Every structure is written in structure tokens, then in C-alpha cells.
Amino acid sequence: MDQMGCLRALCPGADVRAGVRLDKYTTLRVGGPADYFCEPETEEALAGLLAAAETLSLPALLMGNGSNLLVRDGGFRGLAIRLGRGLSRIERTEGGLRAGAGALLSVLSRTAQEAALTGLEFAQGIPGSVGGGLYMNAGAYGGELGQVTESVRVLSGGEIRCVPGGEMGFSYRHTRAMDEKWVILGADFRLEKGDPEAIAAAMQDFASRRREKQPLEYPSAGSFFKRPPGHFAGALIEQAGLKGCAVGGAQVSQKHAGFLINRGGATAEDFLRLMARVQDTVEARFGVRLEPEVRIVGSEG
């Protein structure tokens, strides 16, 4: 029996497909096909797929909204798992909100606003999902998810456990989940009652600032590089004279140098070559080596 047959046998009922291109599932709009692809709707189905992949020694790629992901042109040699709608539910709790890993952070922020709950205003424009955001402690405008996380449901060693927010090791773009290889299933967020008008005003302010300063009209992965200690990546890139620098369809944004954008027809290789050019130029000029914030996976084309 081939791997597809084995996957279907180990995960009865799962809609496993072959050769699905991943470019339409990433915000950069680049990336080749995955050998196998599935969108589970329940925690049990997700756990089953991961267990099956491990049994078959098949690499697994867990995808949320694909907003912090660059898949190489050769695609992914393994099983790509994109969280389905059933893992995207959001509901009220006594202390705030509970959300599945597949829920979009923008939807979570809007749900909090509608419930007159404050603490998630900063997340209204972050394009990622709850799972991906928690995995890397996503943040913006002085706010981070770690500041409002009460507890996180994770899959660890085939078992589901609840980890208190204080034990997640939240720091700048890093959490314990990265070190422990945990799969995030969802979280409870601790939020306070607030003034609906003030919450809406703050969200509108953040949205306005994003439209003014960020190239939202082009596909991107948000800030492409981590903030180096004592510096801002975008400022270093701009000071190095790299605004507008392009490789194929990939370009350093003229609007915000911290963003690498897809001007149309870009390949993953275009982005990787542009990334290397930016890193080498900034390092030669300032002695600072920029590290990508995006996760780079897959095989070369």
C-alpha cells in the first residue's frame, strides 16, 4: 500500500488529497505543492493525522493562515495540515474568550470588541491565526498575545494538556511551544470589560496607522525580519538604501522597508534571493545580521 493509502487507512474519514499547491494558502502567495494535504475539523482528527504521519515517518507541516510562512518552490515533501473551520470557534468565558487555534486573530479582536472586552485591540490587523500567533507570541503596537493569555491547550506526545499562560515562556517572538514542539489547539484569553467606544477607537487608530505605513495592497508575510537588539529591521534596511530593491517579483516595499512584498508573479526563490541580498547588505553596512521572522520550509524547485 502506498503512503496515500496508508494515511487513509490510519485516518478513516479524513479528506487527504495529493499534490495540493500551497501558494494559495500562504499570504505571500508562493510555494509549491505538498505531497499530501488535509484540513481536519476536530482536535481528534488533527491528533490522528499527526500520529499517522509519525507512524509513516512522514514530515508534517501545520498551517494556520499561512501568514508567517514561506514554502519553497519545490513544495513540501510530506503532509501539510491546514486547520479547518471546526478548529476556529470562538466563545465567551467567564474571564474573557476561548478560541480554537484556527481562529483568525482579526476575528478574535473583533469578537472582543463586540463583547466590550479590552486587551486585544492590537491584534485587529495581524493576519495570522490564534495557533500561529501563540506559537510565536505575535504582537503589534506594544501588545503581545502573551500579555492576555490565561491558558493554552496543547498536543504534546500524543496527549492533550492545558498549560497556564505563565508557563508558556512568552518572550519576543518566542514561546516554550517552539522548544517543546507542542501543537497548539486553542487558548483562553483573560480580558477586562471596557468602554465599547474606546475599544473601537483604539482599533480604528491601529487600522489607520497600518494603512498609512504598511503595504497592505500587496501579498506579504508582514514584518519579514525579527527586530535585532537595539535596532529596527526596517530602519536598517532603509538606511542601507534597499527600499524598492527587487529580485524577480519580490521587492522591498517602498512604503515600509521591513516588508518584502509580492509585486506579482514572484517565486519563493525570488524571496529567498532578496532576503539574502538584504541580509548581506545590512550586515556589510552595519555589522548586524538580520534573522527572518518568517518560517521557511520545503524543498527547492
What is the overall mean pLDDT for the chain? 95
Find the mean pLDDT for residues 74-93: 95
Is residue 141 over pLDDT 80?
Answer: yes
Give the range among 1-15, 124-138, 233-247 with minimum mean pLDDT: 1-15
Q: How confident is the model at residue 64 (pLDDT cuts 50, 70, 90)?
A: confident
Hey, what domains does the chain have and what are their CATH numbers? Answer: 3-85 (3.30.43.10), 88-198 (3.30.465.10), 215-293 (3.90.78.10)
Q: Are 290 and 226 in contact (CB under 8 A)?
A: yes
- Per residue in 184-221, pLDDT tens? 999 999 999 999 999 999 999 999 999 999 999 999 99
Find the mean pLDDT for residues 249-257: 97
Is residue 301 over pLDDT 80?
Answer: no
Contacts made by residues 104-108, CB under 8 angstroms, sequence distance 24+ = 104/65, 104/128, 104/129, 104/130, 105/129, 105/130, 105/133, 105/138, 108/189
Find the mean pLDDT for residues 97-112: 97
pLDDT at 13: 84
Is residue 259 over pLDDT 90?
Answer: yes
Is residue 174 over pLDDT 80?
Answer: yes
Calculate what percentage of the chain has a pLDDT beyond 90.
88
DSSP 95: S
Can you say how many angstroms the Cα of residue 89 is from the centroid of all Cα atoms in its chain? 18
Q: Are 274 and 252 in contact (CB under 8 A)?
A: yes
Find the mean pLDDT for residues 240-264: 97
The b/e string for 61-70 (b: 16+ C-beta within 10 A; e otherwise) is bbbbbbbbbb
Q: Which residue, 292, 56, 52, 4, is CA-closest to 173? A: 292
Residues designated catalytic? 173, 223, 293
**CA distances for 249 relative to 22, 24, 138, 244, angstroms:** 18, 16, 27, 11
Q: How confident is the model at residue 42 (pLDDT cuts 50, 70, 90)?
A: very high
Distance of alpha carbon 189 from alpha carbon 186, whole angstroms = 10
